[in-house]
Structure 1
Amino acid sequence: MGKTGVVHIFASHNNTIILLTDITGSETIAKCSGGIVVQAQHKEGTPYAAMKVAEVVAGKAREKDITDVHVRVRGQGGIKPKAPGAGAEAAIRSLTRNGLRIRSIENVTPLPHDGCRKKKKHRSKK
């Protein structure tokens, strides 16, 4: 029987970072980002890059005998966009396709309780 781990997915519009830890979250087992698997910088946040990142992390999980994972998805949050980027869904799909069994999916995007003030809106010159 395999072990259980936690997959932390940070999906912004510019990049996707995936981190695999043990169940307590204290020991990092594997980590990878979009910049490692694609050459062009403007493609780091695409679903294709997220899929490749998830394949790398799933391969390292199999080496460590991890079969079950809890997924924690995070967007930018704060005063930035609350929704996760385009790579989050592709990464989760790729994890299941590569043999990891997903126990739960949780959204852990930080939400402000009326903290910082937003930037002023850009007004074009006429």
Structure 2
Amino acid sequence: MAEKVSRKKQRRSVPSGQMHIQATFNNTIITFSDKKGNVLTAASAGACGFRGSKKGTAYAAQVATEKAAENAKTLYGLGSVDVFVKGVGLGRDSAIRSLSNLDISVESIKDVTGVPHGGVRPKKARRA
């Protein structure tokens, strides 16, 4: 019988990618992906140990960004990102600012927050 040779899985190098920030009032989720949108690493304020109302703070978003960016840099060699921001939470700005501490350059910043068009369905007319 032939022995099966196992090789260590090769980590791919991603020099430039995307950073998605979903900032709500309750939490901030940071996701790093390649240019096609395939997720490399992710972190959230809740996953970093923050609980309750502290998850929605700017500091919690900064800590989550540093954790996700550190993983993306060490595992994939990420050097530059295009930033996509969604939501209205407090972590929008602090997440982008914390990238400069980790030597990841920001190529562009785009706001992809959903905008309602047409609004919600109107309430049923009152009976007389």
Q: TM-score range by the shorter chain?
A: 0.7 to 0.9
Residue of structure 2 in register with 1:60 after alignment: 71
Tell me how far apart the structure 1 counterparts of residues 121 and 99 of structure 2 sit (CA, whole Å). 37
Residue of structure 1 in register with 2:55 after alignment: 44
Task: Name the TM-score, length of structure 2 as normaliser.
Answer: 0.79
**Partners of 2:82 and 2:106 within 8 A in 1:** yes
Tell me how far apart the structure 2 counterparts of residues 118 and 87 of structure 1 sit (CA, whole Å). 33
Tell me how far apart the structure 2 counterparts of residues 114 and 11 of structure 1 sit (CA, whole Å). 24
Unaligned residue ranges in structure 1 (runs of 5+): 76-83, 120-126
Alignment partner of 1:14 is 2:26: yes
Aligned length: 110
Tell me how far apart the structure 2 counterparts of residues 118 and 112 of structure 1 sit (CA, whole Å). 14
Tell me how far apart the structure 2 counterparts of residues 98 and 117 of structure 1 sit (CA, whole Å). 46
Tell me how far apart the structure 2 counterparts of residues 40 and 98 of structure 1 sit (CA, whole Å). 25
Residue of structure 2 in register with 1:100 after alignment: 104
Tell me how far apart the structure 1 counterparts of residues 82 and 102 of structure 2 sit (CA, whole Å). 15
Cα gap change, 1:112/1:99 in structure 2, threshold over 3 Å: closer, same or farther? same
Deviation at 1:40, TM superposition (A): 2.5
Deviation at 1:36, TM superposition (A): 1.1
Residue of structure 2 in register with 1:5 after alignment: 17
Residue of structure 1 in register with 2:119 after alignment: 115
Residue of structure 1 in register with 2:39 after alignment: 28
Deviation at 1:115, TM superposition (A): 3.3
Deviation at 1:61, TM superposition (A): 1.6
Any runs of at least 4 consecutive aligned residues in structure 1 with deviations exceeding 2 A, and if so which? none
Tell me how far apart the structure 2 counterparts of residues 111 and 53 of structure 1 sit (CA, whole Å). 26
Deviation at 1:6, TM superposition (A): 0.4
Task: Name the TM-score, length of structure 1 as normaliser.
Answer: 0.81
State the AA in 2 paired with 1:101: S
Deviation at 1:38, TM superposition (A): 2.9
Cα gap change, 1:42/1:85 in structure 2, threshold over 3 Å: closer, same or farther? same
**Partners of 1:61 and 1:67 within 8 A in 2:** no
